[in-house]
Structure 1
């Protein structure tokens, strides 16, 4: 027997107070007078001790006060009817008015056929309530239990700001009984696949869920006030590059500290969001929220690889979320440039970069950038702040890689070092040109 809604609530929270909502707008057999529907509901109510497939209320998860929406799969497969929709909308509205995050614990097969299109329409009403919560700058964290399928996954679940999932759970739009039998056990319909494809941020074992959920809620709140300080440089800063070509070689050194080292040094703790929500993941773009001196800061960091369209889109997703939540953003630049292979072009490199440029330009929160390695052309500039740009002494930033400039100008490879000097790509050159606002010091 699957755990019930109240079991899930008790597992992750304390001090739960249930909301009292009048959701009985229709007769016993519902708006369609579906034969036997009243009997089905009475049986489900006896089993679950609730009059609907969700239980909603106010609770505490770790240190955070939240509004909880918890599904009970034992109640008609956790399906959404008009009463369910009324409860969920009420919960979102209470969260918005109270200024609280909303956590949804989802276990559902979708919408309820016994209530026809009125049931399906609840997805629109829930989506509108969720949009109002986002407009208020409050986060929604979804936890996907087994199963999470149908229209509820395609609205409430997939529309959350942060999505956690239990390993082994069915997570898919097509539920088990509606997909072709030959695909019944296909791994595409699992939480693991959704995580691999970037539709889920983290897989969390049930016994770890209370801790991880509390951790996420802390990282999504308490934004750092105003502009933030830049990370300290971690590499060997003496002596500085003797010339431009040496600067390029320093930045490309396999021994130079990478983004993960900078993030670990800068933050007391951090969490990762994963994927661009369109099926793409770039492991070379680290995005998430970190805690520093008791406050939260969002970050997007390149790790030295060529950035793919999914990487640019994930960074844009992170910055949009940070902007809604009021979190300042730190970006770390380290890339030879945007990926230049056919797959990247098919994935939309140009539009993805354009979206990131626009997202940073439109951000209302301060964005601060530190170039920690290679600053390769537009693929690097897309992640940069327009007014808070710094560079470490062992990094460089260039309109184009010196070797590629030589190819375009039809120069001999032996002329690459001299060409690097003409590009004025060293930190001191960039400071003199007014491209960067300063060179980071220890």
Structure 2
């Protein structure tokens, strides 16, 4: 379990110049809307103990120089539960963020909806969801920090619904709180670490590293503002220039034959995605997980700084791409498109995973959704083929009209070995088949599949 800081201690840990947002006044009935005996007394004790009048404190502040709206939960006030007044404050915070073009940072620590207000408390989740959706439609990023504990509707809206989800190490995180889980439930499943492993959160962060990490994320996702900290009115970049094409890091001469192209692309000595990302970005921050229960280490996704601009990236690492990898890339591209951030994709896979588990996890639907995300993106996507381009599993990540290739790569409708097998050719015919497929970079340029070096596409 991580240390439980109060709402204002959390704000002080992360931000400077914090100023609370004015809250609307609500006339309440004695003991609340349900006339729950003792509710007013409970609220009074909570107020005396914490110094707060509600379970959230909302205000605008600077985090490492970037302005944002912070929503800090006070767990000491009735377990950080959500009631009608909590909903009023949350709505005011989101409205302020949209009016001032600021990102939203929920610092969540809650046990769920307030029982003493019944269904009127539970329906606050619908209000929160609407405010989050309006903020998303306005092109403003939401970065959640999961504290201890983050459970119930607060996790299912403010937490899991954010664009980027950071979780404090050791925090209890899960939809079911500790008192309502099955008796035989594994407690390890309800942790920050488990949520990251399951693809529901992006990273586990230690408290002493949180300020720097959150500041980096805010700078990256608010960078379209041109550095002022306020995002433009339509949520998109003033200049939608594509991401520059990375320079090749491996071979510089073109392959002589199709099989030569295959051997180069499959060579363990060839530079892989991490090397390209390290060379391209000054710094970067990763997103992880498909939000459907899966992760794929073979698909690296996130945002980084290149030439003073934020660029999103989705990069295959040379392995067969899993359904979770395609879904994570889709999530990344749609977020970048909504925020007006250009995208770089690095294509390098022998193809989509084709085992039985991949089929059960919906690999076909995941690839289809990625094709749709790339095809419908308004933000420019630049793609570089850096190794193997295996069939549709690779093509799904490639931008039509803006795909380039390094000299140690190939793109093929099917692997030469499989093509020879389907055509009932002898093993010795694999290499000639590779030539027939015309898979070399120079062949792909001639066919119009790959954009020639130096052209904008």
Tell me the TM-score normalized by structure 2. Answer: 0.94
1:210 aligned onto 2:225: no
Q: For the residues of structure 1 that align with 2:223 and 2:155, how far apart are their CA atoms? A: 29
Q: For the residues of structure 2 that align with 1:187 and 1:2, how far apart are their CA atoms? A: 19
Kindly tell me: are residues 440 and 371 of structure 1, through their superposed partners in 2, closer, same or farther at Cα, counting changes over 3 Å? farther
Aligned partner (choices 389, 395, 420) of residue 406 of structure 1: 420
- Tell whether the 8 Å contact from 2:24 to 2:92 is kept in structure 1 after alignment: no
Q: For the residues of structure 2 that align with 1:281 and 1:438, how far apart are their CA atoms? A: 34
Partner of 1:6: 8
- Tell whether the 8 Å contact from 1:66 to 1:102 is kept in structure 2 after alignment: yes
Partner of 1:346: 360
**1:344 to partner: Cα distance:** 0.5
Aligned-residue CA RMSD (Å) = 1.2
Write the deviation string for residues 384-423 of structure 1: whole angstroms up to 9, x where unpaired. Answer: 1012110001100010000010111111111000000000
Give the alignment of 1:41-440 within 5 angstroms: 41-183=43-185, 186-223=187-224, 225=239, 226-238=241-253, 240-439=254-453
Query: Structure 1 residues 282-291 or 220-229, which shifts more?
Result: 220-229
SS at match of 1:221: helix
Q: For the residues of structure 2 that align with 1:166 and 1:359, how far apart are their CA atoms? A: 31
Write the deviation string for residues 19-69 of structure 1: whole angstroms up to 9, x where unpaired. Answer: 121243312411111100000000111111111000001100012100010
Query: Structure 1 residues 26-35 or 338-347, which shifts more?
Result: 26-35
Give the alignment of 1:21-40 within 5 angstroms: 21-40=23-42
Q: For the residues of structure 1 that align with 2:88 and 2:34, how far apart are their CA atoms? A: 18
**1:438 to partner: Cα distance:** 1.6
- Tell whether the 8 Å contact from 2:104 to 2:143 is kept in structure 1 after alignment: yes
SS at match of 1:298: strand
Kindly tell me: are residues 342 and 440 of structure 1, through their superposed partners in 2, closer, same or farther at Cα, counting changes over 3 Å? farther
Q: For the residues of structure 1 that align with 2:108 and 2:49, how far apart are their CA atoms? A: 18
Partner of 2:232: none
SS at match of 1:313: helix
Write the deviation string for residues 133-163 of structure 1: whole angstroms up to 9, x where unpaired. Answer: 0001000000000000011101111000000
Write the deviation string for residues 90-132 of structure 1: whole angstroms up to 9, x where unpaired. Answer: 1011101110000010000000000000000000000000000
Query: Structure 1 residues 227-236 or 113-122, which shifts more?
Result: 227-236
- Tell whether the 8 Å contact from 2:66 to 2:218 is kept in structure 1 after alignment: yes
Q: For the residues of structure 2 that align with 1:229 and 1:293, how far apart are their CA atoms? A: 9
Kindly tell me: are residues 96 and 422 of structure 1, through their superposed partners in 2, closer, same or farther at Cα, counting changes over 3 Å? same
Q: For the residues of structure 2 that align with 1:154 and 1:424, how far apart are their CA atoms? A: 50
Q: For the residues of structure 1 that align with 2:277 and 2:27, how far apart are their CA atoms? A: 53
Q: For the residues of structure 1 that align with 2:398 and 2:336, how far apart are their CA atoms? A: 15
Q: Aligned residue pairs: how many?
A: 439
Q: For the residues of structure 1 that align with 2:412 and 2:344, how far apart are their CA atoms? A: 21
SS at match of 2:222: coil
**1:241 to partner: Cα distance:** 1.3
SS at match of 1:148: strand
**1:228 to partner: Cα distance:** 2.1
**1:221 to partner: Cα distance:** 2.2
- Tell whether the 8 Å contact from 2:87 to 2:128 is kept in structure 1 after alignment: yes
**1:222 to partner: Cα distance:** 1.8
Query: Structure 1 residues 296-305 or 213-222, which shifts more?
Result: 213-222
Q: For the residues of structure 1 that align with 2:43 and 2:453, how far apart are their CA atoms? A: 67
**1:440 to partner: Cα distance:** 7.4
Aligned partner (choices 13, 17, 21) of residue 19 of structure 2: 17
Q: For the residues of structure 2 that align with 1:3 and 1:201, how far apart are their CA atoms? A: 22
List gaps (5 residues or longer) in structure 1: none
**1:266 to partner: Cα distance:** 0.6
**1:294 to partner: Cα distance:** 1.3
SS at match of 1:93: helix
